[in-house]
Amino acid sequence: MSNTNEFLIKKLEEQYGKELSKTIIEGYSKKRYTTFRINTLKSNKDEILKILKENNFKLINVDWCDYAFIILNKTEEDIKKLQIYKDGYIYLQSLSSMLPVLALDPKENEHILDMTASPGSKTTQIAMITKNKSCITAIEKNKIRFDRLKYNLDKQGVTCCTVMNIDSLKLDDLFTFDKILLDAPCSGSGTISIYDENKMLTIENINKIKTIQLNLLRKALTILKPHQKMVYSTCSILSMENEEVINIIMKEFNIKIIPINLKNYDLPLLPTKIENTICVCPNEYFEGFFICLIEKI
């Protein structure tokens, strides 16, 4: 096992203790089921389920999300061969990745910012939930990822989104938003394989990432309208990138962390150090994910 993974195990044991760390490590090693959501901008549940049944797909409808499904008997490669995937009628997305948008609870006619939007999983989910009747601004600074974002928005039939190829930190402070999604860059400690080396998992790299996370969160709270909400999320389960970041920001801004109704979803949750935040434990259905719902006072 590499030094990188030894670093991760040490951090997990410091944060969660040895017994719970074993559960997390077991979750990393499990083969995760392929999951998807039906794109109701272009199709409907009955139509998609009929096609998948004809192609011998066995599915579970996720009980907390009517448009989300788990594939029991086939792979991601199998579903990518179908025309409904090629036409954007369905979108492959992890269940954990769907949760931040559900926590944000976007509404029609709201001005919504997705600060680090590529490849567009959450942007397209917001557009779908709001039936293309919100006003979304999606930002991606990397040109290759920006092009991928535009491709996915078009493929999914999104018509309510303005896409910007800039660094979110350079967005003019004259912009204001009703809701903001910051799915921040992170080490990926919730999604890795424990058996693969991840060069992001060093204290030096995590401290660099933490600085980026803090600056993005500061920017978000500057341009979020008063008394409105934003979601800070990462695909990390390390408190360095999650609770530690939130605690620093709570000292700088007049905010409160508000309850997320996802606690009723029967999720495999890990303990968190801030009340009302959620951290999902990796297993065969979920990636590790942290979600915090913030209200600007």
Answer yes or no: do 220 and 109 share one domain. yes
Residue 25, both tokens: 């490590």
One digit per residue, pLDDT tens: the chain, 297 residues? 444 478 889 999 999 999 999 999 999 989 999 999 999 999 999 999 999 999 999 999 999 999 999 999 999 999 999 999 999 999 999 999 999 999 999 999 999 999 999 999 999 999 999 999 999 999 999 999 999 999 999 999 999 999 999 999 999 999 999 999 999 999 999 988 655 556 678 899 999 999 999 999 999 999 999 999 999 999 999 999 999 999 999 999 999 999 998 767 889 999 999 999 999 999 999 999 999 999 999
Give me the DSSP letters along 99-156.
HHHHHH---TT-EEEESS-TT-HHHHHHHHHTTT-SEEEEE--SHHHHHHHHHHHHHT
Domain-embedded: residue 223 = yes
Answer yes or no: do 227 and 283 share one domain. yes
- Look at residue 251 in the predicted model and tell me its pLDDT: 97
For residue 287, the domain's CATH number is: 3.40.50.150
Number of domains in the chain: 2
- For this structure, is 279 an active site residue? no
Does an H or E element contain 213, and which? helix 203-223
Answer yes or no: do 227 and 85 share one domain. no
- Look at residue 197 in the predicted model and tell me its pLDDT: 59
Catalytic: which of 235, 279, 281, 292? 235
Structural domain containing residue 110: 95-296
Answer yes or no: do 100 and 84 share one domain. no
- Look at residue 1 in the predicted model and tell me its pLDDT: 40
Scan for tokens 């998609």, then name that residue: 48
Domain-embedded: residue 29 = no
Answer yes or no: do 225 and 168 share one domain. yes
Domain-embedded: residue 236 = yes
- Residue (of 277, 204, 294) closest to 239 by Cα position: 277
Q: Going by DSSP bridges, is the β-strand pair 177-183/224-234 parallel, antiparallel, or unpaired? A: parallel
Answer yes or no: do 267 and 126 share one domain. yes
Residue 71, both tokens: 């594939």
pTM of the model: 0.95
Domain-embedded: residue 15 = no
Answer yes or no: do 88 and 105 share one domain. no
Answer yes or no: do 194 and 76 share one domain. no
Answer yes or no: do 146 and 227 share one domain. yes
Residues 6+ apart with CB under 8 A from 19: none
Domain-embedded: residue 82 = yes
Answer yes or no: do 140 and 220 share one domain. yes
Within 13 Å of residue 58, how many CA atoms lie on the same side as its CB? 4
Instruction: Supply the Cα-derived Rg of the chain in whole angstroms.
Output: 19
Domain-embedded: residue 21 = no
Answer yes or no: do 251 and 150 share one domain. yes
- Look at residue 261 in the predicted model and tell me its pLDDT: 85
Domain-embedded: residue 22 = no
For residue 51, the domain's CATH number is: 3.30.70.1170
Domain-embedded: residue 20 = no
Q: Which long-range contacts (CB under 8 A, 24 or more apart) does 167-173 make?
A: 167/139, 167/141, 168/115, 168/116, 168/139, 168/141, 168/216, 168/219, 169/215, 169/216, 169/219, 171/139, 171/219, 171/223, 173/222, 173/223
Helix, coil or strand: residue 35: strand
Answer yes or no: do 133 and 110 share one domain. yes
